[in-house]
């Protein structure tokens, strides 16, 4: 029986320890095609390269494994893989992005190159998973994560979920015997507040380093990823791309966008047409 084809990518770079751990762990489970940035691309979110050429270099090939380095972003890696490297060839049965050095829980999912690559890959109607460990160290210990990956891969392949399908999975930085379990949950509401530390170079020109902190808006909510991770669980959040605020979409039917004050006898402005995929009952 032919093993499934599994596509791997990340944002920490082709030589990152987490990525190499992922390759070694997945190798027994399937055939691997991997495309990762040639250098670290953390925090690149869904950026793509449009103003310079992309380079794709094969850095390793052996039986069942092909690894490429791309000069672009994590999303570039996915696009060039599916729209060029694998075009008109066998498509993967599963996409894994990671293992990221550091958390991608809560609003981090919006900034993460790891999750952007997973989300982009899900656009090709293939199940996709982003994997992250809450340890930013370049020499992080991925032993616990490695132990769960075969179970996660086999479960998703067996369930064959309806696509688009994308999971954001984060692991607390704990030994395996301290992990309490896998907990499906929702994304925590919260935001980052940044500060910029100003310094001067030897020529007196100002430059800045970004620092900041995460403000958890609901620290006691037990159904969130931040709560799960804080209490020793692996968090699993299903991700969707639709950012529409449907409540506000319904409220907008009462707004006037004419740029003038209502005059006596004016009626409510007509709502925007409802897209075919939207819930029409918002306008009823």
Q: Is the pLDDT of residue 128 over 90?
A: yes
State the Cα–Cα distance between residues 92 and 9, nearest whole angstrom. 13
Give the Cβ contact number of residue 155 at 10 Å: 11
CB–CB of 7/53 below 8 Å? Answer: no
Strand partners, 170: 132, 235
Determine the straight-line distance between the first and last CA of the chain, rounded to whole angstroms.
Answer: 54
Q: What CA–CA distance (Å, rounded) separates 160 from 65? A: 23
Which residues are within 8 A (CB) of 14 and not within 5 positions of it... i.e. 6 or more apart?
A: 34, 36, 37, 38, 59, 67, 68, 69
Amino acid 253: pLDDT: 87
Segment among 34-38, 254-258, 270-274 with least mean pLDDT: 270-274
Task: Give the tokens for residue 280.
Answer: 């029409």
What are the backbone dihedrals phi and psi of residue 248, each rounded to the nearest 5 degrees, phi first? -70, -30
C-alpha span between 233 and 178 (Å, rounded):
9
pLDDT number for residue 213: 85
Q: What is the pLDDT of residue 283?
A: 30
Confidence of residue 275 (pLDDT cuts 50, 70, 90): very low
Model confidence pLDDT, tens digit, residues 239-271: 999 999 999 999 998 888 876 655 555 545 445
pLDDT over 50 at 284, yes or no? no
* Whole-number pLDDT of residue 182: 97
β-sheet bridge partners, residue 33? 7, 66
Q: Mean pLDDT throughout 60-81?
A: 97
User: What's the average model confidence in pLDDT over 190-217?
Assistant: 92
**Average pLDDT of the segment spanning 100-126:** 96
Mean pLDDT for the stretch of residues 49-69: 97
- What is the percent of the chain where pLDDT is above 90? 85
Question: 135-149, 209-223, 259-273: lowest mean pLDDT where?
Answer: 259-273
The residue to which tokens 């490429």 are assigned: 68
Phi, psi for 249 (deg, rounded to 5): -60, -40
pTM score:
0.87
């Amino acid at each position: 029986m032919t093993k499934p084809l599994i596509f791997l990518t990340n944002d920490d770079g082709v030589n990152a320890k987490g990525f190499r751990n992922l390759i070694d762990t997945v190798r027994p489970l399937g055939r691997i095609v991997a495309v990762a940035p040639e250098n670290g691309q953390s925090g690149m979110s869904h950026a793509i390269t449009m103003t310079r050429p992309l380079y794709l270099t094969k850095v390793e090939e052996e039986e069942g494994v092909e690894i490429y380095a791309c000069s672009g972003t994590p999303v570039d890696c996915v696009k060039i893989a599916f729209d060029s490297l694998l075009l008109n060839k066998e498509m993967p049965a599963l996409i894994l992005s990671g293992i990221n050095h550091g958390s991608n829980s809560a609003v981090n999912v919006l900034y993460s190159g790891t999750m952007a690559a997973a989300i982009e890959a899900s656009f090709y109607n293939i199940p996709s998973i982003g994997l992250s460990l809450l340890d930013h160290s370049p020499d992080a210990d991925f032993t616990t994560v490695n132990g769960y990956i075969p179970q996660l891969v086999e479960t998703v392949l067996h369930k064959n979920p309806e696509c688009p399908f994308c999971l954001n999975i984060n692991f607390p930085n704990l030994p395996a015997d301290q992990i309490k379990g896998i907990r499906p949950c929702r994304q925590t509401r919260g935001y980052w507040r940044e500060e910029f530390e100003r310094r001067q170079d030897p020529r007196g020109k100002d430059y800045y380093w970004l620092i900041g902190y995460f403000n958890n808006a609901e620290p006691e909510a037990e159904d969130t990823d931040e709560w799960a991770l804080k209490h020793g669980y692996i968090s699993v959040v299903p991700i969707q791309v639709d950012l529409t605020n449907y409540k506000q979409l319904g409220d907008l039917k009462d707004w006037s966008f004419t740029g003038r004050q209502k005059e006596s006898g004016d009626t409510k402005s007509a709502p925007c047409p409802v897209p075919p995929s939207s819930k029409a009952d918002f306008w009823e």
